[in-house]
Chain A
Amino acid sequence: MTPTPRQGGHHGTRFRPQVAARGGGGGLDADTLRGVLAASRRLHTEALRRVEAFLTAHSPAYVAWSGGKDSTVVADLATRVDPDIVLAHFDTGFDFPETLDHQDRLAAERGWNLRRYRCGNALEEMIRTGAWDHEAPDLTIDGGDSEWLHVTRLGPAAMAAADTRANGWLWGLRASEAQRRLALLGRTRGVYQRADGMWACSPIWDWRDRDIYAYHAATGLPLSPLYAKLEALGCPRSSQRTSLIIDPGGLRHGRAVWLKRGWPDLWTRLTAVLPRLKEDA
């Protein structure tokens, strides 16, 4: 049998570089290596093109920047196209302190136009509206009329839109994160108009986790220190979340365990008012 080039044959076996994982101590860094591959560079160029096309069609727009790894990539891409674009942080009053510090530092270093919008306290609303209730179904991002969603997402988004007179926003939603996101973003290719008339665009909608880390490594864009802290606690990359300190839906995925391990004093204060937290850690 004549082997095909795909299987090796006359050209020898395929090259499979063995690289050390990030933080493995010495050796090659898999994220840096992936970031310099031609395939990654093409991905970055394509994402920049999407941002340019969106801003051309729907300017003015702002970037919804939570400080996590995905939205930070979008913030970097957007500021390359428009250095003055507003990076809007939806301040829920329930972010990790590390997140706010990271955003302030990054914005100061790079001259980014960071603005914070706040219309309530997520923890208070979570308790008041029953989202915390043990019998409540998990909230989804398109839950619409929930008051808790109003405080955490919809309210600040409306404030940012009014402040910047925006027609739309850029954000870091990705299809690989959940089935519902795949259904939405796959159908719309990352750009769609909401019922309220606003346009939303995720230029990285089809990126995978490893593409995000590769972008950070290749461009020198720092990750939030929360990721290093969670990794040191033993939290795998797939479970690392940096948005709200807790949310009702994240408990079933073990977020309370990492909170307890990494932030003991905060945990103790929270469990004083939310005793059921202990059931999830």
Chain B
Amino acid sequence: MSATSSSLIRHIRYGSLPFHACRLVEVTARLRSGAVLPPAGWFPAPLDGILAHAARRRRLGGNYGLVVDHHTEDLPLTSTARPAGEGQPRWKKQRWVWAATCAWWEPTAEEDVRWIHKRAWSIAQSSELGIDAPGTPANPDVGRYKPQRIPQVATITPTITWWCLGDPDRIRDLLGDVDAIGKKTNAGEGQVAGWDVADIGPPDWWRICWYPDGRIARPFPARHAPILGLENPEIVTVDAYRPPYWRPPITDTGRRAQVQVIAPTTTRPTPQ
């Protein structure tokens, strides 16, 4: 395969913007309610995941969730697959990631435990009470209809912030479709009042790698550790390091496999 066709395939497959065409963008979600997000020890709500969800939903329209589609969404972001400029990290080409952080909120934010209850009438109970409920399960003591009392921990914060390298206009356009983030959005959690997308300067990968408090800002595969200046960092296993985050990617052998990334508790190394 020629170099030209190889790079063309990579471009189609990755669908990311060239580094020089990007800006450093700060994205802020103004929330109407608490948001059910993962706690410390996880990578919460990556911006590229939110954008990929919005892009796929826009592309598939009414077929969203009904068709199997392994296509990687093109996002208005750059990625580690694109060469960056002078003074920027020289990323390895394999195991590429998008140039976007996970969610960041003020560490003083409170948490609130909400309980979700699920109960189902049995056919016996329904007939005793004279309720006509043809949809009731035969037995609510087993299976999916078991009664449940499940906690959900909501983070109470007025705003959530992300940083990314991309095209602010296209990011603003995509985020316009997103009206809720996190889990349990049908129960009213994570409702977004509005998005603020601000161009805050020229592209700089180092602003994407670390949060303001020095913690690592997104899942990076373990092989990128030396580029981040990390020697033998703690490694954790996650389902995925780029969208879709909810399931492991398909490997070359056609199987889904979890991947090892640098732990979310890792902090920026101090310069020697």
Contact = CB atoms under 8 A, between A and B. Distances in A.
B236 interface: yes
A141 interface: no
Contacts of A134: 142-144
Nearest to B152: A257
A19 B68 CA distance: 58
B149 interface: yes
B223 interface: no
A25 interface: no
Interface stretch (A64-72, A154-162, A180-188, A234-242): A234-242
A267 to B, nearest CB: 9
B42 A264 contact: yes
Contact of B236 (A233, A253, A265): A265
Interface string B220-239: 00000000000000001111
B258 A272 contact: yes
B176 interface: no
A252 B237 contact: no
A271 B246 CA distance: 12
B236 A264 contact: yes
Interface string A226-237: 000000011110
Contacts of A254: 115, 148-151
B147 interface: yes
B111 A252 contact: no
A234 B153 contact: yes
Contacts, number: 63
A233 B143 contact: no
Nearest to B257: A272
Counting chain B residues whose Cβ lies within 8 A of the other chain, the interface size class is: 20 to 34
A234 B39 CA distance: 11
B237 A257 contact: no
Counting chain A residues whose Cβ lies within 8 A of the other chain, the interface size class is: 20 to 34
Nearest to B258: A272
B216 to A, nearest CB: 14
Interface string A197-241: 000000000000000000000000000000000000111100100
Contact of B258 (A252, A260, A261, A268): A268
A136 interface: yes
Contacts of A280: 148, 150
Contacts of A97: none
A233 B113 CA distance: 10
Interface in B133-182: 141-144, 146-153
A139 B150 CA distance: 19
B122 to A, nearest CB: 13
B41 interface: yes
Interface in B109-147: 111, 113, 115, 141-144, 146-147
B151 A239 contact: yes
Given A137-B141, A268-B238, A268-B258, A235 B151 contact: yes
A269 interface: yes
A261 B147 contact: no
Contacts of B236: 264-265, 268
B143 A234 contact: no
B189 to A, nearest CB: 14
A135 interface: yes
A233 B150 contact: no
Interface string B25-53: 00000000000001101100000000000
B107 to A, nearest CB: 14
Contact of B39 (A233, A272, A281): A233
Contacts of A258: 151
A235 B152 CA distance: 10
Given A264-B236, A268-B258, A236 B113 contact: yes
Of B113, B150, B152, B153, most buried by chain A (CB within 10 Å of CB) is: B150
Contacts of B143: 134-135
A265 B237 contact: yes
Given A137-B141, A137-B142, A234 B151 contact: yes
Contacts of A253: 148-150
Given A254-B150, A268-B237, A268-B239, A261 B141 contact: no
B193 to A, nearest CB: 25
B149 A252 contact: yes
Contacts of A235: 113, 151
Given A234-B111, A264-B236, 7 more contacts: A233-B39, A233-B153, A235-B113, A236-B113, A239-B151, A257-B152, A264-B41
16 contacts: A134-B142, A137-B141, A137-B142, A234-B111, A234-B153, A239-B151, A252-B146, A252-B150, A253-B149, A254-B148, A257-B152, A261-B41, A262-B41, A264-B42, A264-B236, A281-B150
Per CB-CB distance, the 7 closest pairs between chain A and chain B, nearest first, are A264-B41, A254-B151, A252-B148, A254-B150, A265-B236, A268-B237, A234-B113
